[in-house]
Each structure stands twice: as structure tokens, then as C-alpha cells.
Amino acid sequence: STSLMDAYVSADPELKQLRIPFVEGDTSIDVNLGFMVELDGANYAIGVPFDHCAAVTIEHKDGRVENVSPDKEENIELLEVM
């Protein structure tokens, strides 16, 4: 049997460079389609973003970690500094 990693490594090099839009709501990011599999009649795809991704977080003194959402007005100034 072929593993997902084996399937990706042996994939056509042109397919590895193809940008596929991953759409969620009104936003999208371009991904490299790493794998496609069928499981119990449903198709699934795993994509890896072409662009580097980052998250801005705040670690509180009590150990909680909170994501800084770019969608909140109060975070705009903080994110511009970052």
C-alpha cells in the first residue's frame, strides 16, 4: 500500500507548484495541494499555505494564551507595531 507521503513525493512536480485557493467565508489563501484522499465515500484534501503564516498572541501572567484577532478594532494599533 502507498502512504500519503509516498504519494506526495511521487506527484507530478507541476502539480506541486499549482496554487489552489482555500476559501473560508469572504477570505481565501493560496495553498499547495499536498494530498487528496477518499475515505468512506468523502473526498478530503490537505493543503499547505504558500505564504508564511503567523499568529500574534498574548501570554497572560496566569498562563493563558490569547490570540490577537486582526478583526477587532482595539487590536489594530498593536498589530501595526508588530
Q: CB neighbours of 66 closer than 8 A, spacing ≥ 6?
A: 57, 58, 60
CB 30 within 8 A of CB 20: yes
CA distance 27 to 25: 6
What pLDDT shows up at residue 35?
A: 74
Q: Is the pLDDT of residue 11 over 80?
A: no
Over residues 25-72, the pLDDT tens digits come to: 888 888 887 777 788 988 888 888 888 777 888 899 999 999 888 888
C-alpha cell at 73: 478594532
